[in-house]
Amino acid sequence: MKLLITGGAGFIGSNFIRYILNKYPDYQVVNYDKLTYAGNLDNLKDIENNSHYKFVHGDVADEKSIDQVMKDDIDAVVNFAAETHVDRSIHAGSREFVLTEVLGTQTLLDASKKYGIKKYIQISTDEVYGSLFLNDQNLFTEETPFAPNVPYAACKAGGDMLCRAYNKTYGMNIVVSHCSNNYGPYQYPEKLIPYLVCLALRNEPLPLYGDGLYVRDWLYVEDHCEAIDLILHLGKSGKVYNIGGNNEKSNLEIAKIILRTLDKPEALITFVTDRPGHDRRYGIDSSKLQNELGWKPKYNFDTAIKNTIEWYVNRQDWVEKVRQRCQEFNPHIKINA
């Protein structure tokens, strides 16, 4: 099988490429990435000389470039390409998000239709569903109506709706997944866990929005990769699958776990002015994926979060290099959760 992985130099995309090449050594992977600040080829240094791996620099919204790469006998597309930092969609404007999440998806779908791509997987987010209340039993299901509250989530919802339309209108084999917050190696230091780890290592204050009680479900990135693998090979056309880790934690809990692991005082936690449109809680029901495709998360949160923290502790050179790129793009953006 020959896969086109868009956004493959990013956090989840690079982990997925490594996962696929390790599990399916005969597969061919084309990594197509624009290499904005969040695209880092250093993430894939260990496989860059693999004869089954190829990198192509390009923008998913560039029709000519996508046409060139698509006509090269691609069997399936997995679209990770996205502007993902919620704060930047709020403070710096949403145009880039529209171009990548919406126009980029449309460009990929048109090219997939033109070249008869066998399967198209859209990697999306639970944020399209909006917000849940604290302390209730409700979870997002695949039937939950879209109710995005920030520009990033609205753009992701737009791309997802295009996928639905192309499946219904043209009969294309398209599957959409909605995942919860990922954590693990190679995540960028604008994101909550690596950001707080780096601050704690420097004994700097750990800023949390509002009261710090914003709850997210945390999914280890390799569990996510395994879910996408199953969706790629077994997911049925037109289906939507939620992917969650069953680990709902508040930002305050995450901060305390990091400080405890690093033997730092909780006095470093500080509360800052909340951001606009901040969703209170996300919770994922992934029973459909578990029942239909046999997936379940393998990684224990307590172990995986400690391993993740240690990964960043031991790779501060990588962190600093990427942090500088992030700050060049997002000089006023600090955290995202």
Q: Rounded distance, CA 176 to CA 46, Å?
A: 29
Options 59, 87, 126, 285, the catalytic residue: 126
Single out the residue of 147, 166, 165, 143 nearest to residue 157, CA to CA: 147
Single out the residue of 214, 189, 218 nearest to residue 202, CA to CA: 189
Q: Which amino acid is at 99?
A: L
Is residue 266 annotated as part of the catalytic site, yes or no? no
Options 59, 87, 127, 217, the catalytic residue: 127
Q: Rounded distance, CA 318 to CA 275, Å?
A: 28
Q: Rounded distance, CA 21 to CA 28, Å?
A: 8
C-beta pairs of 135-143 under 8 Å, 24+ apart in sequence: 138/283, 139/283, 139/284, 139/285, 140/178, 140/242, 140/282, 140/283, 140/284, 140/285, 141/242, 141/285, 141/288, 142/178, 142/240, 142/241, 142/242, 142/288
Is residue 190 annotated as part of the catalytic site, yes or no? no
Tokens of residue 11, six digits? 């956090």
Is residue 143 annotated as part of the catalytic site, yes or no? no
Q: Rounded distance, CA 101 to CA 83, Å?
A: 7
* Widest Cα–Cα separation across the chain: 58
Q: Which residues are catalytic?
A: 126-127, 152
